[in-house]
Amino acid sequence: MRRFGLVLALLAVLGTGRSLAQDPFLCLPPGGGPLIDHGSGTRDSLLTYGDGHYENAMTWQYGGVQLPYYGAFAECFSGDWLLDAVVLDLTQLGGQEDQVLDAYVWNDGGGIPGSILAMEVGIAPGPVAYWPNLSRHYAFLHAPYPVHGPWWVGYWPNWPGEVAGWYVGCDHDSPLQGCVMTNIAPGIELPTGWHSVDVVWGGLHSAIGVSALVQEQPTSAQSDTWGSMKALFR
């Protein structure tokens, strides 16, 4: 399966003039298809900038994926919420085997992801759809995490030094404009650290397949009422 996936990946990038064996970053040719979403099983709200259709997809591999989380993708959001899951719209070319991802929540560090607020490591996303289709995957946190003001969510593809297992969707024409950041690794002839994905892949990306599943935080009145109710059972 891995060899078959490599052949498909090579065919997909030939039109870009890049070599799969050498390039730490890849982008699929235009032509995204339907988004397959089996649902989260909750009634939470989805915060997203995408319009549900992706024109292509991108990923890091080989030297583009390094510890601690070089090669990560991130998207910014704001407001006071309870964050339940990082939501990812992914696709593959047949190379997915046992790869996992690490999901992150960051505070805002002056317009880029800052310090880590919460994380879940070693998450298997489940079967990823084959290009040109994409599938939606939910990386749930261990417990709902309260976020305030500006904040970021994203993921790190946990395959340092290896060929990519999947790609994240790219949206070029959504009416909403996201932040669309990636953490560029050192030593690959690109500026290191958090930068817009446009620095790597060119063009203008309005959104990527990174969203947030949230629920409203209890208000102070709700909290007071719940506290009073609990006191009755002491």
Asked if the structure places residue 209 within a domain, the reply is yes
Asked if the structure places residue 130 within a domain, the reply is yes
- The residue among 145, 160, 96 whose CA lies nearest residue 124 is 96
Asked if the structure places residue 204 within a domain, the reply is yes
Asked if the structure places residue 234 within a domain, the reply is no
Q: Tell me, what's the pLDDT at 220? A: 57
Q: Tell me, what's the pLDDT at 204? A: 80
Count helices and strands (H / E) in the chain. 3, 15
Buried b (16+ CB within 10 A) or exposed e, 10-24: eebbeeeeeebeebb
Split into its structural domains, the chain has a count of 1
- The residue among 126, 83, 119, 84 whose CA lies nearest residue 102 is 119
What would the two tokens of residue 79 be? 């407001």
Asked if the structure places residue 222 within a domain, the reply is no
- Whole-number Å distance between alpha carbons of 59 and 220: 42
- The residue among 212, 203, 210 whose CA lies nearest residue 181 is 210
Cis ω for the linkage preceding 132 (within 30 of 0):
yes
Give me the residues paired with residue 87 across strands. Answer: 138, 211
Asked if the structure places residue 75 within a domain, the reply is yes
Chain centre to alpha carbon of residue 118: 15
Cβ atoms of 85 and 140 within 8 Å: the answer is: yes
Burial of 202 (0-12, 13-18, 19+ CB in 10 A): exposed
Asked if the structure places residue 111 within a domain, the reply is yes
- Whole-number Å distance between alpha carbons of 188 and 173: 29
- Whole-number Å distance between alpha carbons of 197 and 179: 9
Q: Tell me, what's the pLDDT at 29? A: 84
Asked if the structure places residue 115 within a domain, the reply is yes
pLDDT per residue, tens digit, the chain (234 aa), is 443 343 344 434 433 334 444 589 999 988 878 899 988 888 899 999 988 889 999 999 999 999 999 999 999 999 999 999 999 999 999 878 889 999 999 999 999 999 999 999 999 999 999 999 999 999 999 999 999 999 999 999 999 999 999 999 999 888 899 999 999 999 999 999 999 999 999 888 899 999 999 999 987 544 444 344 334 333
Q: Tell me, what's the pLDDT at 32? A: 77
The whole-model pTM stands at 0.85
Q: What are phi and psi of 160, to 5 degrees?
A: -55, 130
Domain range for 33 is: 2-217
DSSP state of 66: B
- Whole-number Å distance between alpha carbons of 21 and 161: 12
Residue with token string 């102070």: 220
